Each structure stands twice: as structure tokens, then as C-alpha cells.
Amino acid sequence: MSTQSSHQTWGGRFAEGPDARVAAFTESISFEARLAPYDIQGSIAHARMLSHVGVLQSDEFETIRGGLEAIGERIAVGDFTWDPALEDVHMNIEARLTEDIGALGKKLHTARSRNDQVATDVRLWLRATIDSLIGEVNRLRRGLIGLADHHAETVMPGFTHLQVAQPVTFGHHMLAWQAMLARDAERLGQIRARANKLPLGAAALAGTTFAIDREMVAQELGFDDVIDNSLDAVSDRDFAIDFVSAATTIMMHLSRFSEELILWMSPAFGFVELPDRYCTGSSIMPQKKNPDVAELTRGKTARVQGHLTALVTLMKGQPLAYNRDNQEDKVPMFDTADTVGACVALFADMMPHVAVDAAACRNAARRGFATATDLADYLVRAGVAFRDAHEIVGNCVSRAIHEDCDLAELTLATLQEYSTAIGADVYEILTLDGSVAARDHLGGTAPSQVRAAAARARATLGD
């Protein structure tokens, strides 16, 4: 049987090219073209190393580098035609390089495989993506810290079970959100460090017979180390799972923020007003102002969570080493990066411009008997056992409900019906301001502590 030339770079072993449906089914260029700058960066480093160890002559390296840089420039300005028949980003670039500089372009793939090449490209992409995302997370943190400082004395109800529990300040609440994001930024940094190891040099799975210098490539590409097992280097996708897991946690946090903003913006709460430019209206109800950014962020959280499940499931049945299944890691990773990046950026833009209705927040705290625990603490300090104090305060709350007033509005005589341990000084702690001011310890909601916590948070950001 006579052999048939194939458009694929691997076609020498095959008597016929792939079915058109197989070619369409197996291509990945439609979603991985974004790896092109990293593929070129890695290829230049690989070619430089090949020149260093004598596989390429120095003039050959310079020609290859010039060709790759020219391709990169064309891709950057959109003057590059991607050919799905060449399957992936690597083969498209290599084919164009060979077209541009001749047969020398075919030497570039010496001592490497697409298996270690794509693993390197994705790690380079992920490193840049994490750096950008950390920057956006920190920008959102700065906005929350600014709100916290501005509203260090704005009293609002703190909730448990979505019921009014104790008074807190709006600033303290913003710093709780900030603390979640601080953990997110730290987690991303840890994932970046684990991912910042070079797989290139593992070749297909067993390494190469050429005397390569992997440490040289790692240094040029800014990797902290090389992966020292070739099987693991080409098959590991823990870094992808780690990233999408961290992104899922970020989205979970943003979803919680969103839920609170949606509630707080409703007339039933009226705590905040979001800028018009981050909301939309109704096609039928002209009075509506819908918090669509928050609602869509809450919805997109499910999408990112789904990507995490997809990646874990993708990897669970794969034997060593590389399998074509791993082509399916990119869409979940890329979409996760796009989704979480857009959501964090919009929140970072929006939060510094949130208007807070301090009066509405204070009135809501008054309605829920938020200082009841303060009264119980007062009684304990007066020598009453806590369980007895709890019952006494419960009776006082029932009386306030009956009289349709706040605890602080009950007369001293009325309060003393339930305990003679209550004195005139009780009103110092029954007020909302007195309650928050009394929690003047590290981590407390007192205005002075909120401002101190805001300063500490700024310091962690280098501000």
C-alpha cells in the first residue's frame, strides 16, 4: 500500500488522514489560542537551551527566535490565521515558523513533546492569571477597607439565622468581607508557588536522550524549580484543580456578599444603594432598580463550582502518564479565570461607590432588641448567674414587645420588676452606641477597633 501524505505533523505513520469529523472533534485551537504568547515564550527558552547544549548552532537559534518573535507580533495584532487542521496552538505556531524560516523550523521540537510543552504553557498562563487576579482581589480589599474606615461608627444589626442578634458597625461588617478576600489572596499565592515548577524536559513521559539543561530553561522562564519526575510532569493537573478550587471559594465569598447586598438594597432593609451603573431596570415595572451585577455573580458561582467538579472528575480515572482527556482541562480553567476575574473586577469598581443609609441601619438594629445580650452581661457583672440573667432578659424583651418599644425605652422601674440588680447605669449599655463601644478589644466591633483593624489590613497590602 502506498503511503499518503498527511497534513498533520504526526502523519508519517498513517496511511490516511483523519476523518473530517475526527479532525473537528480533536482540535483544540478554537479555545487554546490564548496560550500562544506562552507557547512562544517557552519555545524561545527551549531553543536557547538547545543552542547552549550544542543541538542548535547559535545562528540557528537566532533565526528561530526571530521567527517566533515575528509570529508573536502577528498574533498580538490579530494578523495570524489559525488552522484547525493543525489541531492545536503548538502545531499552528510550528507550522508557521517552518513556513517562514524553512526546514530549520522543524528542529525546534527536538527534545520535547506536546505533552510537556502544553503543561509548560498552561503553567505560564496560570502564573500570569493568578498575578492579575490577586491584583483585582486586593483592589476590592482596598475598597472594603475604605468603606470600613468611613463607616467605623455606623451602627447596624449583626445577624445570626438572619435574625437581629447584636449591634455591630457597618465598618466591622466590611472588614469581615475583607478578611475572606485576604485569605483568598493568600491561597492564590500558595497555588502560584506550587504551580511554578517547570515540566518542560519531561518530553512525552520518560525524558529525552539529549543532554538538556532543564535548570537553564527554568531560570529563563522564571520557574522556581523543575518537576523531577517526568511521568508526573506531563500528567499532573493538580495545579488546575487547585486554581479552580480557589476560584470557587472566591466566588462563594462573592456570592455571600451578593446575597447581602441584594437583601440590603431591597426596601425591606434599605441599608444601601448601589450606583445606577451597576443595576438594571424592569421592562414592565418602571420603578424597579435591580442589582443585576450581584445577582449574576451569585448565579455565576454555580458555573465555577461546576468547573471544579468537571476537573476533579476528568482526572479521577486517568492512568499515568499523559492522556488526551487532558485537552478538556482548558475550557473549565479558562472560563473560570474569565468568570472570577470579571466578577472580582466589577465588585472592586462598585464597592467604593456604595451609598450607606446610616439611619436605616440604626433603626433596624433598634427593632431587634440587639442590646439584649449586653443587658445579660450587665446582670452577670452584678453577680447574677448567666442562666438566670438570660431568663430575666427574656422577660424584659417580652415586656418591650408588649409595650412596642425598645429595651432602652423601658423605665428603670419596669426593668427592676425583673431584677433588683439593675441600676440607673444600665442605660449606658442599653444604647446601640454604648453596646458597640463596649466591645473594645482586638477583633471587636468598637469604632476604635474597626479603625485599628482597617489600618492593619492596609499594612498587609503595603499601603
Can you tell me the distance from the alpha carbon of 374 to that of 406, in angstroms, rounded to the nearest whole number?
Answer: 13
Backbone region of residue 167 per phi and psi (left: phi > 0; alpha: psi in -120 to 50; beta: other values)? beta
Q: Whole-angstrom Cα distance, residue 312 to residue 141?
A: 30
What count of other Cβ atoms lies within 10 Å of the Cβ of residue 98? 17
In 10 A of CB 21, how many CB atoms? 8
- Mutual angle of helices 36-52 and 114-150, in 10-degree steps: 130
Between the alpha carbon of residue 184 and those of residues 47, 136, 177, 458, the distances in Å are 37, 11, 11, 16
Question: Angle between the 114-150 and 330-350 helix axes, to the nearest 10 degrees?
Answer: 20
Catalytic choice (2, 5, 161, 283): 161
C-alpha angle 95-96-101 in degrees, rounded to nearest 5: 100
Q: Is the dihedral of CA 27, 30, 32, 37 positive or negative?
A: positive
Residue 136's CB is within 10 A of a number of other CB atoms, namely 21
Decide if 58 is catalytic: no
- In eight-state DSSP terms, residue 167 is E
* Ramachandran angles phi, psi of 13, nearest 5°: -85, -10
* Residues in CB range of 160: below 8 A, 6 or more apart: none
Reduce the DSSP state of residue 113 to 3 states and report it.
coil
Q: Cα–Cα distance between 436 and 169 in angstroms, integer? A: 7
Q: Label residue 300 left, alpha or beta by phi (over 0 means left) and psi (-120 to 50 means alpha).
A: alpha
- Radius of gyration of the CA atoms of the chain, in A: 31
With residue 265 as reference, give the H or E element that holds it.
helix 238-265
- Residue 445: phi, psi to the nearest 5? -95, 5
Candidate list 282, 353, 398, 448, residue with the active-site label: 282
- Measure the CA dihedral 363/368/374/379, to 10°: 130
Is 282 a known active-site residue?
yes
- H-helix or E-strand spanning residue 198: strand 197-198
Give the residue among 399, 369, 406 at the shortest CA–CA distance from 163: 369
Which of the residues are catalytic?
A: 161, 282
